[in-house]
Amino acid sequence: MNQLDQLKQFTTVVADTGDFEAMRAYQPQDATTNPSLILKAAGQEEYRHLVEKAVVESKNADLSTTIERILVLFGLEILKIVPGRVSTEVDARLSFDTRGTIEKAQQLICAYEKEGISRERILIKIASTWEGIRAAEILEKQGIHCNLTLLFSMAQAVACAAAKVQLISPFVGRILDWHKAKTGRDYHGFDDPGVQSVTDIYNYYKKFDYKTQVMGASFRNKDEILCLAGCDLLTISPDLLQELQDSSEDVREHLTAEKAKGMELHEIPLDENSFRLQFNDDAMATEKTAEGIRKFSADIVQLEEMIQAM
């Protein structure tokens, strides 16, 4: 078997793309999107009809409603391809607004359900701020499952597990980017700080029986993926999916619940004060979370400008 097929034996493979053809080619279980991916896809001719449809359908509504419709239309097309779930992201500008995040998530779920899609097939993506985590905790109690994104630290992961969110997406490659920029050196394999971060989170969750799933994301190279074989899920871009498909080298399972159970780990107590202090003390996590929120917010603004022009 090629490496992609081998990986699927240990880990649920998710497509990190807004490209429908890529999803058909690699047959992932789930798919994730974000504002950057939707903006990129919306600018391509083959997907322009979805944007135009959203503009027509929400002609007399505000920009926020039109953006929501675009996200749902892309999600509906994706769900025709993948057998599992699609992650749809709440506007990043709501990252510090618990009530606003809850309301937007409810609107998205309502829009999908009006199209006949069960909420079990939708994950609402929310930034892993304290406010976002609190919103996710409330949404989960309503049966609205969440994918906590822009996650870079153990403090964020612990808070998400305590909130009983469905899934977290630690950003492997962006952690690597920060360390390379700070140290001027490269990292490979298990020495990669992004790989180490996800490994630590996975082991912590399994050791203490947290039900929140771990989905490694934002990969920079194939080795990062292979080092995390056995993780609950991995969301992978089309170029790296192709690299895995093109190789037939052996893939070994590195992360298992059984290994984690035997580790000497201590549970981390966390309230809002300790979360904010630990998060603030992690320069990489604070910088990369803030950078991610700014970037996703900027891409939503670009999408709004595209809509206004139409």
pLDDT of residue 61: 86
Please write the tens of the pLDDT for every residue from 130-177.
999 999 999 999 999 999 999 999 999 999 999 999 999 999 999 999
User: Could you identify the residue written with the tokens 């992978």?
Assistant: 236
pLDDT by residue (tens digit) across 299-308? Answer: 999 999 988 8
Q: Domain ranges in the chain?
A: 3-309
pLDDT tens for residues 88-141? 999 999 999 999 999 999 999 999 999 999 999 999 999 999 999 999 999 999
Q: What is the pLDDT of residue 181?
A: 97
CA proximity to 169, closest of 229, 87, 103: 87
pLDDT score of 268: 95
* 3-state secondary structure string across the chain: CCHHHHHHHHCEEEEECCCHHHHHHHCCCEEECCHHHHHHHHCCHHHHHHHHHHHHHCCCCCHHHHHHHHHHHHHHHHHCCCCCCEEEECCHHHCCCHHHHHHHHHHHHHHHHHCCCCHHHEEEEEECCHHHHHHHHHHHHCCCCEEEEEECCHHHHHHHHHCCCCEEEEEHHHHHHHHHHHHCCCCCHHHCHHHHHHHHHHHHHHHCCCCCEEEEECCCCHHHHHHCCCCCEEEECHHHHHHHHHCCCCCCCCCCHHHHHCCCCCCCCCCHHHHHHHHHHCHHHHHHHHHHHHHHHHHHHHHHHHHHHC
The per-residue pLDDT for 43 is 85
Q: What is the pLDDT of residues 254-286, one digit of tens each?
A: 999 999 999 999 999 999 999 999 999 999 999
Nearest to 131 by CA among 150, 154, 111, 116: 150
Q: Which residues are catalytic?
A: 125
pLDDT one-digit tens code per residue, 74-96: 999 999 999 999 999 999 999 99
The one-letter code for the residue type at 205 is Y
Nearest by Cα to 210 from 157, 169, 155, 142:
157
More confident call, 164 vs 22: 164
Q: pLDDT band for position 40 (50/70/90)?
A: confident
Please report the pLDDT score of residue 108 as a whole number.
97
pLDDT at 38: 87
* pLDDT (0 to 100) of residue 264: 96
Dist. CA 169–CA 91, nearest whole Å: 17
Least confident of 17-26, 55-64, 95-104: 55-64
| 232 within 8 A of 260, measured Cβ to Cβ | no
> Which pLDDT band holds residue 59 (cuts at 50, 70, 90)?
confident
Identify the band that residue 310 occupies on the pLDDT scale cut at 50, 70 and 90. confident
Question: How much of the chain exceeds pLDDT 90, in percent?
Answer: 87
Q: What are phi and psi of 140, to 5 degrees?
A: -60, -35
pLDDT tens by residue, 227-249: 999 999 999 999 999 999 999 99
44: confidence class by pLDDT, cuts 50, 70, 90 = confident
What number does CATH give the domain 3-309?
Answer: 3.20.20.70
